Amino acid sequence: MANFEEPSNPVGTVAELFAGVGGFRVGLARANFATVFSNQWEPSTKAQPASSCYVARFGPKGHSNEDIAEIVSRLKVDENALPEADLLVGGFPCQDYSVAKSLNSSKGLEGKKGVLWWEIRSIVEIKKPKFVFLENVDRLLKSPSSQRGRDFAIMLKTLGDLGYLVEWRVINAAEIGFPQRRIRVFIIGRRVDTLDRDTNFSPGSVICKSGVLARAFPVLPGARVTEIDLSSPPEDLSLNFGKGLKISPFLNAGTYFNGKAYTARVETVEAAKKMTLGDIVIPDSEVPESYWIPESRISDWEYLKGAKTIQRVHKESGASFNYSEGKMAFPDLLTNPARTIITGEGGAAPSRFKHVIRTEKGYRRLTPLELERLNGFPDNWTKLDANAEQISDIKRAFFMGNALVVGLIERVGKILAHELSRS
């Protein structure tokens, strides 16, 4: 495994939150950014395997393995508790962002304790990076089910109120040419005072042409833009936004500026050449025996991946109901991109959601190295921890279920690098 090296002459610096095993850092290094601070903390557990893997790859310098709330507490006392960085990044957990409330002027806006968006917001408010680059599941745009889009509305409003022009875009990695159908929403915040003074804000242009995400992932022309009023205070949005809506008003692309969100359903210009699952598999001779599925267990896998109706009982009411599942491909075709890797991908037990492929030798699961390749990491990136001890295959699969597609980060990073070089 080659040692990671930061760019020798970087265009900008990065602070990485919720770092996992370093997908943002790898992708942004390829775009000529140097990471000066990172934080990875897994709550409610003594073991910190992702942080240990991160240190094994990047070294301990600038890395923090502690609750982000502790970092924010120090930062509120001393702004130098976190290094200056041009870009703040993170793939943060998707949570309920309600209970926003205005406090007195000395404390500003805060939200529900333990909800990590408010920690991100506090860091942005204090450090004021030129750019913010966040990643999340696309469900964020429509949560919660009782107030469709409320959580995202609060995010846009509170980040915009700190002086940022915000963009978002839902990206399917397979459409861009990568070998996994991983769908995520990317969010870019750009500090308004860094924009050219003669820039005229045009929502349609930002969404479809001039924005960071539009340049990283071009779209077909003809998208229809609609406006969403977010001028109400965040606490009002928390109470009222999305009530009575069955679907979210936020579509797969958009921008926010000065109290208003603008959104459109765009079509990505798909890659001319696309990678498939078959492009990343290793030879049968290199696959450990434990990954091959015995003939006696094939029927178990077929049942779990097949169409079925299961009777279940509601935990609260005790009422029974029928739960239906559709048929899934079995095995996963090597001529298609892989499905989204999930955190439960590891382990030999039959599962509906784990990948199974068929080669000349038979049926088998995907190895950790192949999962790393699906996300664009270097081979065996997660093999060892900071003590040079082997990380279990189950944990390695968990890491990749939580990771992002590195190549997508690189594409966005190159546009951000261009913007910084112009400033």
Q: Which residues are catalytic?
A: 94
Q: What is the C-alpha R_g of the chain?
A: 22
Cα-based angle 284, 398, 303 (whole degrees, multiple of 5) = 65
Compute how many other C-beta atoms are within 10 angstroms of the C-beta atom of residue 8: 7
Residue length of the chain: 423
Structure tokens, 18: 């919720």
CB 54 within 8 A of CB 124: no
CB 174 within 8 A of CB 279: no
Largest CA distance in the chain: 69
CB 314 within 8 A of CB 365: no
Query: Prior bond to 179 cis, omega within 30?
Result: no
Compute how many other C-beta atoms are within 10 angstroms of the C-beta atom of residue 47: 9
186/182 Cα distance (integer angstroms): 12
For residue 175, the surrounding DSSP H or E stretch is helix 173-176
2/117 Cα distance (integer angstroms): 35
400/23 Cα distance (integer angstroms): 10
